[in-house]
């Protein structure tokens, strides 16, 4: 059964006791009765614990029964202890017994860390104490989690796991420090790509262990912690590319102190360890040949006879019979007499793990006398000491030549050669001078061993061992190190590193080698100066290794070590001096030629660099200066010439404005590396900005600064080259810096290549000076660093190649030639100015050339024969006409001299001033897409004058947006030929053409805006003009017109065709180029002149789509939910792209209002009934309305996310260049959305066709909807709403809701999302909760009969109406049972009135219930005069009048009459004024005499 206990506030103070009672009682209930009677509980059946510390820093000691309960309480409950201090601290080796206030010493066999928590066994994550969390980040500065395993436990250690490029593996610990004296202590090792991938440690986001790429062995680190909450993070982070070494970080111990003041108990010694002391802070590893086979050992047991053990062993292993593998040898020093002898001595390997007393054991061989071996090359044996001595400087020996006594001799080197001193160590009988060896970890040998022909790392090693060997060398010149190793251990590796002259391990060489089972040769470069060479054998075992065979054989062997350029070495040969260095007879090194000079090989003299070449560093051969540069006078460098002309062109670039006073550009930071670029600056030799790892300044034009603060030369020799890897339409130049620090050997057939930097200068006249940015991933090609720099000064200086001639028509023997910039915006700067318009002679051609051909102008020379010539590809002709479809070619844009000619028009066009006093007016302007003209704000007019030598036509396309009182008109010679009035919104252009006679004609396009008061009004009105064409100007064209960018044509063309999506053309092309041919990850819109990079897909590129609701086999309902890519789709899938969730089943949406669910379907109640929300769900919840209620129908769309299909009454579409692949609006969750549109003008529309019911006169029909609009760019980006093509809501750039009344009949409702062209121009519109009240179809809703109706005359069969109060009556409240007659002196002229109006002055009623007021037509004016109008009745001929539109007005001022008594005398309402229209309609012109006013003739 269940036991419940409820607390009251007054009982909370003793909650500990109450909780104990609950536990005890509940436990007893489940104890076997017989067992409970046999055993009484003792203290051992309880576990003690502390309560949480309270605000007064006190806590209580409480107990709970161990489960399962196997005893009877029997009245025994351990006593609680209250108000114990929380901050009683105990030192290491001491603990605080539960409930006590004094510290106690740990007993032998146990230890205490004084409250510190230790994690050193890496088999499972701790379940208490240190609670770690591990995860990966997408980058150092990116909080987004990445997919990787994080840190991994490996038994004896943990490692950072498998981390890919641009990721960081994080080990995190959140802990609370209670002590004021605390620390975190750990040991780590890292082996990663040097200077690029790092391990580091943070406390609360602050780096306290600097970023490190390599350590030779495990390193201790300790950081103090303050009291309070801390986040500790161990991080291994990788940059954007490449890996090195083991590509990992390792940790084999973490300790955090201060998390508690004292240990509650001491920790038993682990197996293999023991301590016999009281108050131990740690347990010691068992020494050799001892073991500890259980926990809590106070001392280690000696191994039984015939067995052995290594340090820290939990057991002993049997000693086997000794073999040849168990002993070693060494050579004694060589001694006389000639030719010299030495002893070969044998000894058992330490530690001895075999049994020499075993009868099957081999015996140690006796010492053997041997002849002394040959000295290493470069050394000879001294006749006095019999020791090997280096040859004197400038001489050599290869060890092969001997004198008569058998000793080698040294020979002097010739001029042009040098005897390079070296160590070539193949005899390992004795340790080299200044050498050292040692071991850390579970070592079997104390260090490396001499083995005669080789050295090895020793044997018997256990877990996590580092065995190192080092020796010092002094290099008098940069040298080479070579060695050969043999690795015989699958879990091991050999690490080599150097500590260079600056003492920086990471700044020097550090490499790891782990090729197993064969001899491997390694060669590395060494710097000049004193260097320590480190060889480290690392055995990274995950578990304790008890295999005798493996521990005997796990080792690495060095077979030889070679170092040249060493001070104490000897030469083995004469080395010819290379180009750039010289040597005299007997030299031990080649001397470098100074900068600006070089030498031939094996030479003794240096000569100056030849013309066109330079040498910037001593000792290097001369090399050619880069393209566009020349050597300086001293030939030590090349001039930084900042002007360059592309060969074979007139394109001259001048980068001098980009020079920086501080030599370098502002820093560019990428993945913790900083990049500095110098353009047009000579970096000084002593610059303090960029220096190498030795602190020496780098004279480089491209510098990479590593996280450690030192620089890397990425290129110092300038060269110019044509822009590479870009579309032909992109103007610019490549600036290339070569000769940087060599590297990347692993990517170039194991040969290092010099780093180089490429700056792609891209012409952008709007960018000013601009700044450089990385081009994609910075090292797309290894050791090649690419940047993009968009700048005005990346454009060439303007020349005649940038100018285009446009021929005017031939008029009276003269033709004007106009000059325009060929590109807009211009792709040049400064340089020449546009030539002025010039006039040349011409003759009106008599030759007729068809479209696609032109006639060459004869320059006025009638004797020249005229011929028709086909237009070349990329151009077109109309055959004697003019078409303007690219207004940018009309001269708009920058004139190359900083002057903006945005309203400069083609020849023949002009702006017409239409302003009068107080008006707002402006000029027509080029639209952002360059393909059309846009009218100005207020009143604007555009004119054109052309001479037609033949009868012809004028044709153009137009599109207007007019709201209230605006208008658009087109005039020819002052006569209007086209007119568009108010309330006109076009979603696509319309065409207009008109025939004209030969002669001079004036054309005018005029737009008058109804919004003249504010040029910045959000209610956008305007007109667009496209493709203006004049035909008949001549019988033939005098030149062909170039195709606009993004358009192409073949030869003999009459027009150009637009390039489709994902292709481009940059002008005068015969075909469109696929974007994929330039970059597989690029795209373009139709009519593009460039391709753009596709962005990586994100969650913004997808939207959720629901399927239909379905009934499942188990009777439940569900629908599918999946993510669909938005259209148009331009984003790029890839490893970093967003991946939407997989399709899944989810709950069905609720039915919209007015519908009820029947299985998987939402249904409408039958006519005359409606959904009653109070009805049970199991029954169809439909009912008839109450007597004082009526029904109305309402269509609802997109009120829930259940709408997932367009129904038949909906249509959608899109017009404009920015539509791309979009077909219009789309359905989203609970709304419709205007899709995503790219650069270009867009009108995206959606329309709904509805029918308003004529029979439901009670319902006030309307449309209601909610909307949201997000837009950037021009203010006229936004949302239109039209009813029957008449605008009702103009541009709105916010959120809101709208309601509009609807008349009886059919209607078209249209929403239009409008977007202008241009960069940064966007619009996104969403419409939801669309409700059509009063529709012919749809669900019914009940409502109380409104005011103006009554239920008395309501018929039971007509549930969709209430009875309207007849004229003369009213009802002021809803649900009225009857209508009230109007009081005397008031009237109600129409049915459905909610109140009565008083009769105006001079009128009256004949009693109650009047539908109108009457008059005797006698009025008293303000001055007292009486006017009698009674004789002006409807029979008077003066009572009718007609207007200019032939509408007739019948006026009866005194008596009301019927307007149309012939057709319906009973239904027609009486009135004072009747209007008979020209179309036959009869209208009420006014039934209420409202006022009489007096006018003065003088006013």
pLDDT tens digits along 487-501? 888 878 888 888 775
Query: In this structure, are residues 729 and 1043 in contact, taking their beta carbons and an 8 Å threshold?
Result: no
Q: Give residue 1055's Cα distance to chain centre.
A: 42
Q: Is residue 769 pLDDT above 70, yes or no?
A: yes
Token pair belonging to 225: 């912690």
| Dihedral sign for Cα atoms in the order 18, 22, 28, 29 | positive
Q: H helices within 577-648, ranges in order? A: none
Q: What is the largest CA-CA distance in the chain?
A: 167
Burial 429-460 (b: 16+ CB within 10 A, else e): beebeeeebebebbbbbebbbbbeebbbbbbb
Q: pLDDT value at position 1464?
A: 46
Using alpha carbons, list the distances in angstroms from residue 1162 to 209, 665, 1203: 65, 67, 11
**Residue 586 main-chain phi, psi, to 5 deg:** 75, 25
C-beta atoms surrounding 915 within 10 Å: 13
Q: Is residue 1159 pLDDT above 90, yes or no?
A: no
Collapsing DSSP to helix, strand or coil, 745 comes out as helix
The CA distance from 408 to 411, in Å, is: 10
For residue range 117-136, list pLDDT tens digits in order.
888 888 889 877 788 999 99
Q: pLDDT value at position 55?
A: 83
The CA distance from 537 to 460, in Å, is: 13
Q: pLDDT value at position 406?
A: 47
Contacts of residue 819, defined as CB under 8 A and 6 or more positions apart, other chains included, come to 803, 804, 805, 806, 834, 835, 836, 837
The CA distance from 344 to 1418, in Å, is: 154
Q: Is residue 14 pLDDT above 50, yes or no?
A: no
The CA distance from 937 to 1015, in Å, is: 6
Residues making up the chain, counted from first to last: 1499
Token pair belonging to 731: 């103007």
Burial 1304-1314 (b: 16+ CB within 10 A, else e): eeebebbbbbb
Q: pLDDT value at position 508?
A: 47
Of 1046, 1127, 1033, nearest in space to 1086 by CA = 1046
For residue range 1442-1485, list pLDDT tens digits in order.
887 778 888 877 777 777 655 444 445 677 888 888 767 788 88
Tell which wins on pLDDT, 407 or 353. 353
Q: pLDDT value at position 795?
A: 92
pLDDT band with cut points at 50, 70 and 90 for residue 642: confident
C-beta atoms surrounding 1111 within 10 Å: 13
Contacts of residue 782, defined as CB under 8 A and 6 or more positions apart, other chains included, come to 241, 242, 744, 747, 748
Q: pLDDT value at position 649?
A: 85
Q: pLDDT value at position 1469?
A: 67
**Which residue reads 């076009």 in tokens?**
986
Q: Which long-range contacts (CB under 8 A, 24 or more apart) does 1487-1494 make?
A: 1487/1389, 1487/1412, 1487/1456, 1488/1389, 1488/1400, 1488/1412, 1488/1413, 1489/1400, 1489/1402, 1489/1403, 1489/1413, 1489/1415, 1489/1453, 1490/1400, 1491/1400, 1491/1401, 1492/1401, 1492/1402, 1492/1419, 1492/1421, 1492/1427, 1494/1421, 1494/1422, 1494/1423
pLDDT band with cut points at 50, 70 and 90 for residue 1079: confident
The CA distance from 1002 to 991, in Å, is: 20
Query: In this structure, are residues 570 and 496 in contact, taking their beta carbons and an 8 Å threshold?
Result: no
Collapsing DSSP to helix, strand or coil, 1437 comes out as helix
pTM: 0.48
Q: pLDDT value at position 1197?
A: 92
Using alpha carbons, list the distances in angstroms from residue 1420 to 461, 1020, 1311: 129, 52, 56
For residue range 380-394, list pLDDT tens digits in order.
888 888 888 889 899
Lowest-pLDDT range of 8-17, 202-211, 227-236, 642-651? 8-17
Q: What percentage of residues in the chain have a pLDDT greater than 90? A: 25
Q: pLDDT value at position 818?
A: 79
Q: Is residue 92 pLDDT above 80, yes or no?
A: yes
Contacts of residue 1304, defined as CB under 8 A and 6 or more positions apart, other chains included, come to 1252, 1253, 1254, 1261
The CA distance from 548 to 677, in Å, is: 60
Collapsing DSSP to helix, strand or coil, 1217 comes out as helix
Of 1090, 1092, 916, nearest in space to 1008 by CA = 916
- Mean pLDDT on 782-793: 89
Q: What percentage of residues in the chain have a pLDDT greater than 70? A: 87
Q: Is residue 24 pLDDT above 60, yes or no?
A: no
Q: pLDDT value at position 964?
A: 67
- Mean pLDDT on 356-368: 91
- Mean pLDDT on 228-252: 87
The CA distance from 1334 to 1254, in Å, is: 9
Of 619, 366, 382, nearest in space to 477 by CA = 619
Q: Is residue 863 pLDDT above 50, yes or no?
A: no
The CA distance from 1073 to 727, in Å, is: 9
**Which residue reads 């053990």 in tokens?**
309
Q: pLDDT value at position 902?
A: 44
Q: pLDDT value at position 525?
A: 86
Q: pLDDT value at position 894?
A: 34
C-beta atoms surrounding 70 within 10 Å: 15
Q: Is residue 1018 pLDDT above 60, yes or no?
A: no
Query: In this structure, are residues 424 and 397 in contact, taking their beta carbons and an 8 Å threshold?
Result: no
Q: Is residue 1369 pLDDT above 90, yes or no?
A: yes
Of 1024, 848, 852, nearest in space to 952 by CA = 848
Q: Is residue 821 pLDDT above 70, yes or no?
A: yes
Tell which wins on pLDDT, 883 or 957. 957
Q: Is residue 37 pLDDT above 70, yes or no?
A: no
- Mean pLDDT on 1341-1366: 83
pLDDT band with cut points at 50, 70 and 90 for residue 160: very high
Strand residue runs (E) in 314-464:
317-318, 320-321, 327-331, 341-348, 354-355, 368-371, 379-381, 388-390, 395-396, 411-412, 417-418, 422-425, 435-440, 449-450, 455-456
Q: Is residue 169 pLDDT above 90, yes or no?
A: yes
Q: pLDDT value at position 400?
A: 61
Q: Is residue 651 pLDDT above 80, yes or no?
A: yes
Collapsing DSSP to helix, strand or coil, 67 comes out as coil
Q: pLDDT value at position 823?
A: 72
How many CA atoms lie within 13 Å of 362's alpha carbon, on the beta-carbon side? Answer: 13
Tell which wins on pLDDT, 762 or 1320. 762
The CA distance from 576 to 583, in Å, is: 9
Q: pLDDT value at position 793?
A: 93
Contacts of residue 43, defined as CB under 8 A and 6 or more positions apart, other chains included, come to 78
Q: pLDDT value at position 339?
A: 75
C-alpha angle 1440/1446/1451, rounded to 5°?
Answer: 20
- Mean pLDDT on 1386-1411: 88
Q: pLDDT value at position 1250?
A: 93
The mean pLDDT value of the chain amounts to 82
The CA distance from 665 to 791, in Å, is: 14
The CA distance from 689 to 697, in Å, is: 8
Q: Is residue 1350 pLDDT above 80, yes or no?
A: yes
Q: Is residue 377 pLDDT above 80, yes or no?
A: yes
The CA distance from 119 to 126, in Å, is: 8
What is the DSSP code (8-state) at residue 51?
A: P
The CA distance from 540 to 490, in Å, is: 10
Q: pLDDT value at position 1272?
A: 83
- Mean pLDDT on 419-434: 87
Q: Is residue 512 pLDDT above 70, yes or no?
A: no
Using alpha carbons, list the distances in angstroms from residue 1236 to 76, 207, 1225, 1231, 1321: 77, 44, 9, 15, 12
For the chain, percent helix, then strand, then coil, each to nearest 5?
5, 40, 55
Strand residue runs (E) in 213-264:
219-225, 228-237, 248-256
Q: pLDDT value at position 29?
A: 38
**Which residue reads 């605008």 in tokens?**
1287
DSSP string over 517-562: SSEEEEEEEE-SEEEEEEEEEEE--SS----HHHHHH-EEEEEEEE
Collapsing DSSP to helix, strand or coil, 1342 comes out as strand
């Amino acid at each position: 059964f269940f036991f419940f206990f409820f607390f009251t506030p007054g009982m909370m103070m003793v909650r500990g006791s109450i909780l104990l009672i609950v536990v005890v009682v509940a436990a007893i209930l489940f104890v076997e009765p017989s067992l409970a009677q046999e055993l009484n509980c003792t203290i051992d059946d309880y576990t003690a614990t502390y309560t949480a510390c309270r605000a007064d820093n006190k806590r209580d000691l409480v107990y709970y029964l161990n489960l399962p309960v196997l005893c009877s309480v029997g009245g025994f409950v351990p006593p609680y202890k209250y108000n114990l201090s929380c901050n009683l601290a105990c030192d290491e080796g001491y603990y605080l017994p539960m409930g006590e206030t004094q510290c106690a010493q740990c007993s032998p066999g146990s230890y205490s860390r004084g409250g510190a928590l230790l994690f050193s066994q890496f088999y499972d994550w701790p379940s208490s104490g240190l609670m770690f969390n591990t995860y990966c980040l997408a980058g150092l500065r990116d909080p987004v989690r990445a997919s990787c395993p994080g840190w991994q436990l490996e038994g004896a250690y943990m490692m950072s796991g498998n981390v890919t490029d641009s990721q960081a593996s994080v080990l995190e610990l959140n802990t609370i420090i209670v002590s004021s004296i605390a620390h975190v202590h750990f040991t780590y090792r890292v082996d990663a790509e040097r200077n690029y991938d790092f391990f580091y440690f943070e406390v609360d986001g602050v780096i306290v262990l600097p970023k490190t790429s390599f350590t030779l062995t495990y390193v201790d680190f300790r950081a103090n912690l303050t009291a309070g909450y801390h986040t500790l993070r161990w991080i291994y982070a990788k940059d954007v590319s490449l890996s090195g070494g083991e590509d990992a970080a390792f940790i084999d111990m973490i300790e955090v102190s201060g998390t508690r003041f004292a240990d509650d108990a001491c920790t038993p010694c682990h197996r293999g360890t023991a301590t016999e002391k009281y108050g131990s802070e740690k347990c010691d590893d068992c020494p050799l040949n001892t073991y500890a086979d259980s926990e809590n050992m106070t001392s280690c047991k000696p191994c039984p006879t015939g067995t052995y053990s290594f340090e820290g062993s939990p057991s002993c292993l049997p000693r086997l019979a000794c073999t040849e593998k168990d002993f070693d040898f060494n050579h004694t020093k060589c001694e006389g007499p000639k030719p010299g002898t030495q002893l070969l001595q044998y000894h058992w390997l330490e530690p001895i793990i075999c049994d020499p007393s075993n009868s099957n054991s081999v015996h140690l061989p006796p010492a053997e006398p041997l002849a002394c071996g040959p000295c290493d090359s470069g050394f000879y044996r001294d006749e006095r000491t019999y020791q090997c001595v280096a040859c004197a400087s400038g001489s050599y020996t290869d060890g092969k030549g001997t004198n008569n006594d058998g000793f080698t001799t040294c020979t002097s080197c010739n001029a042009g050669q040098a005897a390079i001193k070296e160590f070539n160590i193949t005899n390992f009988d004795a340790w080299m001078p200044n050498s050292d060896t040692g071991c850390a970890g579970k070592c079997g040998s104390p260090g490396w061993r001499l083995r005669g022909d080789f050295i090895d790392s020793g044997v018997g090693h256990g877990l996590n061992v580092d065995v190192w060997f080092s020796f010092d060398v002094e290099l008098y010149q940069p040298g080479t190190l070579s060695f050969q190793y043999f690795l015989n251990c699958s879990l091991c590796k050999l690490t080599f590193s150097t500590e260079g002259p600056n003492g920086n391990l990471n700044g020097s060489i550090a490499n790891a080698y782990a090729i197993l089972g064969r001899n491997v040769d390694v060669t590395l470069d060494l710097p000049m100066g004193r260097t320590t060479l480190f060889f480290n054998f690392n055995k990274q075992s995950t578990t304790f290794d008890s295999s005798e065979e493996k521990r005997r054989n796990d080792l690495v062997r060095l077979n030889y070590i070679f170092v040249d350029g060493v001070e104490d070495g000897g030469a083995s040969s004469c080395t010819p001096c290379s180009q750039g260095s010289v040597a005299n007879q007997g030299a031990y090194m080649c001397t470098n030629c100074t900068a600006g000079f070089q030498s031939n090989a094996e030479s003794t003299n240096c000569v100056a660099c030849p013309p066109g070449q330079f040498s910037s560093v001593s000792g290097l051969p001369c090399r050619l200066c880069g393209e566009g540069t020349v050597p300086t006078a001293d030939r030590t460098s090349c001039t930084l010439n900042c002007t360059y002309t592309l060969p074979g062109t007139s394109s001259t670039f001048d980068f001098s404005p980009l020079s920086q006073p501080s030599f370098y550009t502002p820093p560019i930071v990428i993945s913790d590396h900083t990049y500095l670029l110098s353009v047009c600056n000579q970096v000084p030799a002593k610059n303090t900005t960029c220096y190498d790892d030795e602190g020496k300044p780098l004279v480089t034009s491209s510098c990479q600064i590593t996280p450690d603060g030192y620089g890397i030369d990425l290129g110092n020799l300038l060269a110019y080259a044509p822009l590479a890897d870009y579309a032909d339409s992109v103007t610019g130049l490549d600036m290339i810096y070569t000769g940087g620090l060599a590297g990347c050997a692993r990517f170039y057939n194991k040969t290092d290549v010099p780093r180089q930097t490429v700056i792609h200068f891209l012409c952008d006249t709007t960018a000013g000076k601009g700044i450089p940015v990385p081009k994609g991933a910075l090292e797309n090609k290894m050791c090649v660093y690419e940047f993009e720099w968009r700048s005005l000064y990346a454009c060439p200086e303007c020349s005649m190649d940038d100018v285009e001639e446009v021929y005017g028509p031939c008029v009276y023997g003269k033709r004007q030639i106009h000059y325009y910039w060929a590109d807009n915006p211009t792709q040049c700067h400064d340089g020449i100015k546009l030539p002025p318009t010039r006039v040349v002679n011409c003759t009106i051609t008599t030759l007729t050339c068809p479209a696609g051909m032109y006639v060459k102008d004869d320059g006025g020379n009638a004797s020249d024969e005229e011929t028709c010539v086909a237009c070349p590809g990329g151009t077109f002709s109309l055959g004697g006409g003019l078409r303007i479809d690219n207004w940018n070619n009309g001269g708009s844009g920058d004139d190359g001299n900083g002057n903006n000619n945005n309203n400069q028009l083609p020849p023949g066009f002009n702006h017409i001033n239409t302003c009068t006093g107080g008006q707002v007016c402006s000029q027509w302007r080029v639209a952002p897409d360059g393909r059309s003209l846009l009218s100005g704000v207020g009143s604007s007019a555009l004119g054109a004058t052309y001479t037609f030598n033949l009868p012809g036509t004028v044709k153009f396309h137009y599109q207007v947006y007019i709201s209230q009182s605006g208008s658009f008109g087109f005039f020819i010679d002052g006569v209007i030929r086209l007119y568009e009035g108010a309330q006109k919104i076009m979603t696509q252009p319309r065409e207009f053409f008109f025939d004209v006679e030969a002669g001079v004609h004036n054309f005018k396009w005029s737009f008058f805006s109804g919004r003249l008061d504010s040029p910045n009004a959000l209610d956008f009105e305007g007109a667009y003009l496209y493709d203006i064409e004049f035909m008949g100007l001549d019988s033939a064209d005098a030149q062909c017109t170039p195709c606009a960018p993004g358009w192409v044509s073949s030869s003999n063309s009459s027009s150009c065709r637009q390039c489709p999506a994902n292709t481009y053309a940059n002008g005068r092309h015969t075909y469109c180029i696929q974007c994929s041919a330039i970059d597989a990850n690029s795209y373009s819109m139709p009519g593009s002149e460039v391709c753009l990079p596709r962005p990586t897909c994100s969650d913004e590129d997808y939207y959720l789509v629901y399927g239909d609701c379905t009934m499942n086999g188990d009777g439940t309902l569900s629908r599918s939910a999946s993510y669909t890519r938005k259209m148009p789709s331009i984003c790029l899938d890839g490893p970093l792209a967003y991946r939407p969730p997989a399709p899944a089943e989810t709950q069905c949406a609720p039915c919209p209002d007015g519908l009820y669910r029947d299985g998987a379907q939402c249904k409408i109640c039958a006519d005359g009934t409606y959904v009653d929300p109070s009805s049970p769900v199991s029954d169809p919840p439909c009912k008839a309305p109450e007597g004082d209620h009526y029904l109305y129908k309402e269509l609802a769309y997109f009120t829930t996310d259940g709408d997932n299909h367009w129904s038949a009454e909906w249509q959608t579409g899109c017009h404009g260049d920015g539509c791309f692949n979009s077909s219009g609006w789309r359905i989203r969750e609970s709304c419709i959305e205007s899709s995503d549109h790219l650069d270009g003008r867009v009108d995206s529309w959606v329309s709904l066709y509805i029918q308003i019911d004529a029979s439901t006169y009670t319902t006030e029909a309307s449309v209601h909807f909610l909307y949201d609009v997000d837009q950037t760019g021009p203010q006229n980006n936004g949302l239109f709403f039209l009813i029957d093509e008449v605008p009702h809501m103009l541009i709105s750039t916010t959120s809101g809701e709208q309601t509009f009344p609807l008349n009886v009949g059919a209607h078209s409702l249209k929403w239009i999302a409008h977007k202008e062209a241009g960069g940064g121009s966007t619009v996104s519109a969403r419409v939801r909760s669309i409700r059509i009240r009063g529709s012919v179809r749809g669900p019914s809703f009940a409502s109380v009969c409104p005011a103006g109706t009554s239920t008395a005359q309501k018929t039971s069969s007509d549930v969709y109406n209430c009875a309207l109060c007849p004229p003369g009556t009213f009802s002021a409240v809803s649900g009225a049972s009857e209508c009230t007659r109007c009081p005397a002196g008031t009237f109600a002229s129409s049915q459905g009135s909610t109140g009565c109006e008083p009769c105006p002055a001079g009128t009256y009623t004949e009693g109650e219930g009047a539908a109108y007021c009457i008059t005797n037509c006698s009025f008293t004016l303000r001055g007292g005069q009486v006017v009698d109008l009674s004789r002006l009745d409807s029979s008077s001929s003066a009572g009718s009048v007609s207007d200019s539109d032939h509408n007739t007005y019948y006026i009866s001022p005194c008596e009301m009459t019927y307007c149309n008594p012939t057709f319906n005398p009973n239904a027609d309402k009486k009135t004072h004024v009747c209007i008979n229209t020209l179309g036959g309609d009869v209208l009420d012109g006014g039934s209420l005499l409202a006022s009489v006013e007096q006018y003065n003739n003088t006013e």
